[in-house]
Chains A and B, each alone.
Chain A
Amino acid sequence: MSFELETAVQPAGLRRVAIDPVSRVEGHGKVTILLDADDHVHQVRLHIVEFRGFEMFVQGRPFWELPVMVQRLCGICPVSHHLAAAKALDVIVGATRLTPTAEKIRRLMHYGQILQSHALHFFHLASPDLLFGFDSDVAKRNIMAVAAEYPDIARKGVLLRKFGQEVIRVTSGKRVHGTGAIPGGVNKALTREERDALYADAYVMIGWSREAVALVKRLHLANAGLYNSFGAFRSNMMSLVADDGGLDLYHGALRARDADGKLIFDHLDTHRYWDQITEEVKPWSYMKFPYLRALGPEAGWYKVGPLVRVQNCDQIPTPLADAERREFVDFGGNMPIHATLAYHWARMIEMLFAAEEIKALLHDDDLLGEDLVVTGERQRRGIGVIEAPRGTLIHHYRINADDQVIRANLIVATTHNNQALNESIRQVAKRYLDGRKLTEGLLNYIEVAIRAFDPCLSCATHALGQMPLAVELIDASGACIDGLQRDGDGTVSSPQRA
């Protein structure tokens, strides 16, 4: 595995591109493409704003505030941060094993989050690309157009989201800023009425999730040549798996495979993640680059998320999703599937898994129990790892004798995927950049590649008027010879051509 286009072999004559404060304020995503003297793509970099201020934000706070406080780190997956923090604090309060009621309520909350997040991504972010084609006009690649031409799909997307949000509301106590998970357990059980209300819709959600898998599979198979090669790259893979090797998004041990599917490590205790994973800092990005220590930074980078999880596990513990997993794996033959666009297919298999898990949990009377919290011998360090919708999420805290947080380290899924995102964009730029001019088509392709990972680029703010994506083309002399940006309203402009 090499970074042939990330770092120039002969850097003379190439200007290093640094992120200035303006791009940090403005940007969700910024891509720079450097050309060599022959106008071939020389380097491609995706700059993502990541707030390493996360860790500073929580230092000095009492540890019991964390499960609520960390939800403010990200408006996209607050439940994942809520649960990862709670799992880390379970260790700190000595809760080595939660009560069945607490664990199942947390699992229900988590699978509600997986369902609603995957539904949002597929129905509202990715489906316009997939249904209308990557080359279609941007005016068509939006939910409005999907609603016009595929109203049933758009409607189910909204209602799947609503169901997932309702699961979260019932289990966390509130629609936002939920407080359900606390160190050592949960602060409330479900009432029978709450459970029955969710149960009434659970089977419908399974049915719609099956339809979504069928749709994305059909789209992939109908254009397999493009889907298998677009932005594709080989890499290591890492995710949690259950003790029996099955898919488990709430709890388990870490497993990593190489690009051929061979095990690198297995059943790694999450509390020892640092033995195998470390992070590299690169001068051109605010976001760190994690890699597997044993393989080093050049060969040890990996990807995470749905595409990895459904292939890294040995089975899925729900029947419908497992049948889909087997078909997916068979599609790859004897080798792992590394197609970036296969993330969509895998994501819908996980959505079906989440819907089945929710249904199974709603059958369980433990959800109505009264034994909610356990504690034990107090610890000073706690690590919580969970498979968030976009991939592995690690929360790591140290506290002092006054119960204040003195150190925090968070590795979010988009950080794990940092190198993978760059690699995918490189493949797209190499294939589609023609000459010294950026085209809206290339912008579309870059967007499609990034979107497949469902990266959380909006951890910053969402305020109205934010600029979403900019691409700059820089020649061998260091001059910016072209640029394109797509604004929040879909309009494309080029400051360099003005």
Chain B
Amino acid sequence: MTPPPVVVIAWGNPSRGDDALGPEFLCRAESIATHARDTFEFVTDFQLQPEHATDLEGRDLALFVDASRTLADPIAFNELKPQRDATFTTHGMSPSGVLAAFRAAFDRDPPPAFQLAIAGVGFELGDPISETAMRNLDAALALFTRLAVAPSAAAWRELAQCV
């Protein structure tokens, strides 16, 4: 069975404040893309891991979505390339590391992939998503609405120039 051409992978812990931005984004983005169920598949997890490379198999395009604790702007959107992943014993991988794992597992280049980072401010256990992060989430969903209209690498690259 051929998978949908676009995979959206969002991750985070729903119980750690703004770390929940990824799963919350995914939940709402699925609603936005109800008209395009054949185009998008949505994948969520606590952490990004090597086996997520297998979720890229057979895709034309991939979008990684996560909270960011260092982002100055509300959101950032950029294209990714496979590259070194020097995370230290964090177990969670970076999106670029997952692309590298794809290349290792399948001996070919991964599909074009983009990262949507959403700024968060608080990550404590048991906290809800902050008001600031919720505003940033709205901005991310507004961008996703535009991405969903034109799910192609070329169109997304153009958008990446504007964000």
Contacts and interface: CB of A to CB of B under 8 A. Distances in A.
Asked if A pairs with B, the answer is yes
Nearest to A151: B104
Contacts of A468: 87-90
B107 A151 contact: yes
B152 interface: no
A53 B126 contact: yes
Given A75-B13, A176-B45, A488-B94, A143 B101 contact: yes
Nearest to A488: B87
A125 B14 CA distance: 25
Contact of A458 (B14, B69, B82, B91): B91
Nearest to A491: B86
Given A158-B53, A460-B123, A57 B15 contact: yes
A139 interface: yes
Interface residues of B, number: 53
Contacts of A125: 89, 91
Given A57-B125, A144-B83, A161-B51, A465 B68 contact: yes
B89 A29 contact: yes
Interface string A443-473: 0000100110011111011111110110000
Contacts of B13: 72, 75, 461-462
Contacts of B89: 28-29, 125, 447, 450-451, 454-455, 457-458, 468
A162 B46 contact: no
B30 to A, nearest CB: 15
Contacts of B17: 461
The interface centre, meaning the residue of A72, A139, A462, A488 with most chain B CB atoms within 10 A of its CB, is: A462
A76 B70 contact: no
A231 interface: no
Contacts of B84: 139, 142, 144-145, 490
B130 interface: no
B9 to A, nearest CB: 12
A490 B85 CA distance: 7
B105 A463 contact: no
A483 interface: no
Contacts of B123: 460-461, 463
B104 A162 contact: no
A297 to B, nearest CB: 27
Contacts of A147: 100-101, 103-104
B97 A143 contact: yes
Contacts of B85: 142-144
Question: Which size class do A's interface residues fall under?
Answer: 35 or more
The interface centre, meaning the residue of A155, A158, A175, A489 with most chain B CB atoms within 10 A of its CB, is: A158
A159 interface: yes
The interface centre, meaning the residue of B48, B84, B86, B126 with most chain A CB atoms within 10 A of its CB, is: B86
A138 B88 CA distance: 11
A158 B125 contact: no
B44 to A, nearest CB: 6
Given A151-B104, A463-B123, A162 B91 contact: no
A379 B83 CA distance: 53
Interface in A305-343: none
A75 B45 CA distance: 8
Given A147-B101, A162-B51, A458-B91, A75 B46 contact: yes
A462 B90 contact: yes
Interface string A133-162: 000001101111111000100110111011
Interface in A49-86: 51, 53-54, 56-57, 69, 71-73, 75-76, 78
Interface string A151-183: 100110111011001000000000110000000
B73 to A, nearest CB: 13
Give 9 closest A-B pairs by Cβ, nearest first.
A490-B86, A75-B46, A465-B70, A147-B104, A154-B104, A468-B88, A462-B92, A72-B15, A158-B105
20 contacts: A56-B126, A75-B46, A116-B51, A120-B50, A121-B91, A124-B50, A139-B84, A141-B86, A143-B85, A143-B97, A154-B104, A155-B105, A158-B105, A161-B49, A457-B90, A460-B123, A462-B66, A462-B90, A488-B86, A489-B86
Interface of A: 28-29, 51, 53-54, 56-57, 69, 71-73, 75-76, 78, 116, 120-121, 123-125, 138-139, 141-147, 151, 154-155, 157-159, 161-162, 165, 175-176, 447, 450-451, 454-458, 460-466, 468-469, 486, 488-490
Interface of B: 11-19, 43-51, 53-54, 66-71, 82-94, 97, 100-101, 103-107, 117, 120, 123-126
